Amino acid sequence: MTETAPRTISLNDVGLKYVQALQRITDLCVFTWAGARTVNEQGYDELGRSIPGLPSTEFRIPFNVAREEAELWWFKNGVNEVLGLTNLFLEDIRKLCGLVNFTAAKANASGDLAALAAEINSTPTAVDFPTRLKQLSDKYGVNVQMDGHLLSIASLGRILFQRNGLIIEGDSLKLLLKVVQAPAQGETQARLADYERTWKPGERVLLSRAEQAAIFTTISVFIGAMLNAVQEYAKRSGLPDEPAQQ
């Protein structure tokens, strides 16, 4: 490691890796939306009867209920996929910052290169999002002021999986997202804006498709901002500049 560490870091390659992964999740979500628009009660009943081995009991879910539950089921899995991807991304950010430290120390002939290399290659520990974000901020100064957005999506995932979207007594959810808005009068470009929605005890978390799309927008913005923050950290450390993937 101490002999082969690169002099520069390709943030563009890292960015493209996660843009591709996020696009995959988005496309699968859109595919399910398209399917939900075309299915009808007759098709639901006929398909259920046409595949041998499927249970057919008195507990079979009616069409309208199945449509609503399927929407929530796909949404829950989409959020889970997004959060899993973000967790991997933050681990890569930690490694990138460690590599910045290693490369700067090697270039300046200072620091314990073996210890820095070991830190980069250390086995990822299971930490929650608040802890990971705090570590990146405290140790490397990498902070994009979007912790509230990411943590609100993590809270959404917890409520969806643990309580099937129901807000229980003593709990609440405030979702903070980035949304794409149409150009204002006299403008030609769409704008990025903050969006906030709150749920109280007894309410069930149901999001419109535009709100679901805003989750993808938020994570995309977060990824780009974090890569730019790593780029700034590298510049402060004296490494060559490289544009980050937007």
- Report pLDDT for 242: 54
Would you list the DSSP string of 217-237? HHHHHHHHHHHHHHHHHHHHT
Token pair in block for residue 211? 């709100």
Could you give the CA distance from residue 19 to residue 22 in angstroms, rounded to a whole number?
Answer: 5
- Helix, strand, coil fractions of the chain, as percent rounded to 5: 60, 10, 30
Residue 4 domain-assigned (yes or no): no
Q: What parts of the chain have a pLDDT lower than 50?
A: 1-7, 243-246
Residue 5 domain-assigned (yes or no): no
Could you give the CA distance from residue 49 to residue 56 in angstroms, rounded to a whole number?
Answer: 8
Asked whether the beta carbons of 145 and 186 are under 8 A apart, the reply is no
- Report pLDDT for 40: 92
- Provide the residue range defining the domain that includes 152: 11-236
Asked whether the beta carbons of 158 and 171 are under 8 A apart, the reply is no
| Total domains, the chain | 1
Residue 20 domain-assigned (yes or no): yes
Mention every residue, 6+ apart, whose C-beta is less than 8 A from residue 213: none
Could you give the CA distance from residue 209 to residue 164 in angstroms, rounded to a whole number?
Answer: 18
Residue 162 domain-assigned (yes or no): yes
Residue 1 domain-assigned (yes or no): no
Residue 160 domain-assigned (yes or no): yes
Residue 35 domain-assigned (yes or no): yes
Residue 245 domain-assigned (yes or no): no
Per-residue HEC secondary structure of 151-169 comes to HHHHHHHHHHHHHCCECCC
